[in-house]
Copies of this chain bind each other. A is one copy, B any other.
Amino acid sequence: MLFARTDIEGESPPPAAEQLEDLAGREVFSSETTYPKGTEVFGEGEEANFVYRIATGAVRTYKLLSDGRRQINAFHLPGDVFGVEDGMTHRFTAEAIVKTRLRMIRRSSLFDKATTRITADTNKLISLASRNLRHAENHILLLGRKTSRERVAAFLLEMDQRLGHPHEMILPMNRRDIADYLGLTLETVSRAFSLLRDKEMLQFDESTHRQLRLLDRKGLARFDA
């Protein structure tokens, strides 16, 4: 919808490699840097000053939960470009899986060449798309590494926040929808709701079961890993 044409994932392997070189020109790449196996290329939350292209080797990008559970978002292989962010900071940590040679390009040179031409209107469309991407990335962590209770707590907090922290919220979706969103069964979701009710972090109408009040948002946040 947003853009004119794109390659279908998995059909014709997209020449992402050339795209970036094309875009920025060889001269803006610093000479290749070598990262030994296990080395961090950049950390989650760090300022995103560069975009990277893999010459040889491989890179993993991942998020961590506080207790160390790790969710790898993607593997990057020779030719792949990674570290393209829509904000000022990286949303992942990136590490070399094996000895890896990377070419870097300054964020600023990308801006000069391409992004400054983007109009305000376009930026709005893009921000819609990047919102989707951030949401998807967080959901990957949830689905890959969180327990059923953590997922339900996260869901409640997400809805609460999107509705502007109302005193009471009425969920439009049923338990099966929530389950299919969280990668669970409706019974597991129901049990998690009951548990949170019993722990007095949550209160819900016994007849409709859709109208609810968050009694302890801090507690729920603690529940959500």
Contact = CB atoms under 8 A, between A and B. Distances in A.
Interface of A: 1-10, 13-14, 16, 19-20, 22-23, 48, 51, 57-58, 60, 62, 70-75, 77, 81, 83-87, 97-98, 107, 110-111, 113-115, 117-119, 121-140, 143-145, 158-159, 161-164, 172-173, 177, 180-183
Given A121-B23, A126-B3, A172 B97 contact: yes
The copy count of this chain in the complex is 2
A131 B3 contact: no
B13 A161 contact: yes
A133 B135 contact: no
B72 A180 contact: yes
A100 to B, nearest CB: 9
Contacts of A13: 161-162, 164
B77 A2 contact: no
Given A117-B119, A124-B19, A6 B86 contact: yes
A20 B129 CA distance: 12
Given A72-B180, A180-B71, A115 B125 contact: yes
A23 B86 contact: no
A140 B143 contact: yes
A84 B129 contact: yes
Contact of A172 (B62, B98, B132, B144): B98
Nearest to A1: B85
A113 B125 CA distance: 11
Contact of A126 (B9, B126, B159, B163): B126
A125 B180 contact: no
Contacts of A6: 86-87, 127, 130-131
